[in-house]
């Protein structure tokens, strides 16, 4: 079941390297996803193909006109029936792994990339969702749209190989990842924890959970506050 992603943007060329690189490229080659960036100017009128205008009520900056955006959204809604229309905006709902997981179960998504001060409110009213990738302001929604597509793509069953499966990732379980090591066993005087070389799978699993818990406490204590700890986690924390 191939997911269809479409980004509506005045800068479609920003996506060229995104489609052509890494896991996203492989997901396209394997027909797990298809993706395209659609030029908003195709839906604009006049010789200048204007997509923005001055804000009503005055003030600095420009606002994206509703007509080109709505024509583009209607066109893409027909092309990808049932796909949610997601507006990229710093005022949107915070994008999290849980949002990515829910979007990965859709048959596609239509990502609307804003520029300037934002878009006409009547467009926002027509969207299914408004999403922010963090509390900072970018010059446009193109990078956020790529962030969303990237995070969603790697969750689609089959996109990641068996042993890099996204299924048992710590973040989806509310903790950050355990520490990782590869060869050599000693580097600049620092040893790889012995248990990882032991081949004792039960002990390794337990060490990894403890590492995740410690690292979450040190780096992201906010994630610990509302956590319902499992019995195994409570045992490890009491050690």
Which residues are annotated as part of the binding site? 114, 133-138
CA neighbours within 13 Å on the CB side: how many for 32?
A: 21
As to burial, measured by CB atoms within 10 angstroms (0-12 exposed, 13-18 middle, 19+ buried), residue 6 is: buried
* Residue pointed to by tokens 């990882």: 196
- Matching residue, tokens 């403890």: 210
Nearer to ligand ADE by Cβ, of 9 and 216: the residue is 9
CB of residue 90 to ligand ADE, shortest distance in Å: 4
Reduce the DSSP state of residue 55 to 3 states and report it: coil
**What residues form the annotated binding site for S-adenosyl-L-methionine?**
114, 133-138
In whole angstroms, the minimum distance from the beta carbon of 182 to ligand ADE comes to: 34
- Residues of the shown chain interacting with ligand ADE in the complex, contacts defined by CB under 6 A: 88-90, 92, 114, 132-134, 136-138, 141, 144
Which is closer to ligand ADE, CB of 126 or CB of 206? 126
Sheet containing 108-113: order of strands: 33-39, 3-9, 108-113, 85-94, 129-132
For residue 173, the minimal CB distance to ligand ADE (Å) is: 25
Do β-strands 129-132 and 85-94 pair in parallel, antiparallel, or remain unpaired? parallel
Compare residues 134 and 158 and give the one whose CB is closer to ligand ADE. 134
CB of 147 to ligand ADE, least distance (A): 8
């Amino acid at each position: 079941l191939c997911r269809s992603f479409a980004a509506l943007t005045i800068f479609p060329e920003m996506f060229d390297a995104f489609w052509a690189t890494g896991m996203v490229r492989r997901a396209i080659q394997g027909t797990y996803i298809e993706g395209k960036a659609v030029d908003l100017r195709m839906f604009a009128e006049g010789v200048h193909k204007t997509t923005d205008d001055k804000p009503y009520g005055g003030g600095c900056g420009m606002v994206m006109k509703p007509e080109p955006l709505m024509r583009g959204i209607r066109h893409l809604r027909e092309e990808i029936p049932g796909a949610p229309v997601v507006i990229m905006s710093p005022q949107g709902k915070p994008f999290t792994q849980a949002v990515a997981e829910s979007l990965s179960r859709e048959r596609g998504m239509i990502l609307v990339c804003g520029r300037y001060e934002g878009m006409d409110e009547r467009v926002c009213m027509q969207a299914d969702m408004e999403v922010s990738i963090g509390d900072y302001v970018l010059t446009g929604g193109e990078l956020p749209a790529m962030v969303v597509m990237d995070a969603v793509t790697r969750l689609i069953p089959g996109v990641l190989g068996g042993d890099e499966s996204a299924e048992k990732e710590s973040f989806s379980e509310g903790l950050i990842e355990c520490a990782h090591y590869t060869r050599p066993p000693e580097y600049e005087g620092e040893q790889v924890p012995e248990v990882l070389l032991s081949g004792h799978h039960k002990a390794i699993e337990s060490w990894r959970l403890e590492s995740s818990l410690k690292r979450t406490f040190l780096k992201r204590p906010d994630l610990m506050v509302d956590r319902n700890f499992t019995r195994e986690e409570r045992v490890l924390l009491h050690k």
